[in-house]
Amino acid sequence: MKYFSLSEFSHSDTAVSLGIDNPPPAAAVPLMVELIDRVLDPIREHWGLPIRVTSGYRCPELNEEVGGVEDSYHMDGCAADISAHDPERNVELMSLIRAMHLTGRIALTECYAGPDYKYIHVAYSPANIDESPFI
């Protein structure tokens, strides 16, 4: 965990404003570490500039409040929404992520931009890891 911490990965301004307690369960922590080490840190390393986690771990209550899907990888610690701080930069970051072809123990299974490139969602599924690159 070179560029990101577990505390920023589980922090949520929405949770704070709504009074929702959002600590990750013990089972999510290794998955969060793996996402940071094998996906987020390599992206940040290649990008060369700060990246903000806008949404990382979400407890079920928080996930419901933000309109997340019922089986969201965020609730397992396997997803993050990230931003390079503005939509134009996020377009560039999305291109870089796709060009990285993250493979190996972690295969990116989801990568898409949110509305108007306000964020980029990245996720993996430990159950579906293969050696195929995400395209």
Residue 33 banded pLDDT, cuts 50, 70, 90: very high
For 14-36, what is the mean pLDDT?
Answer: 94
**Beta-ladder partners of 79:** 123
The structure's pTM equals: 0.86
Residue 134 banded pLDDT, cuts 50, 70, 90: very low
Residue 108 banded pLDDT, cuts 50, 70, 90: low
Predicted local confidence at residue 135, as pLDDT: 38
Average pLDDT of the chain is 86
Residue 133 banded pLDDT, cuts 50, 70, 90: very low
- Rounded to whole angstroms, what are the CA distances from 72 to 42, 100, 128, 132? 23, 24, 15, 22
Instruction: Give the β-pairing of 108-113 and 52-55.
Output: unpaired
> Which has the closest alpha carbon to 125: 97, 111, 106?
106
Give Cβ neighbours of residue 80 (< 8 Å, ≥ 6 apart). Answer: 9, 35, 39, 40, 53, 55, 56, 74, 121, 122, 123
Tens digit of each residue's pLDDT (9 = 90 or more) over 43-102: 999 999 999 999 999 999 999 999 999 989 999 999 999 999 999 999 999 889 888 877
> What does the alpha-carbon distance between residue 129 and residue 100 come to, in Å, rounded to a whole number?
17
Residue 11, pLDDT > 60, answer: yes
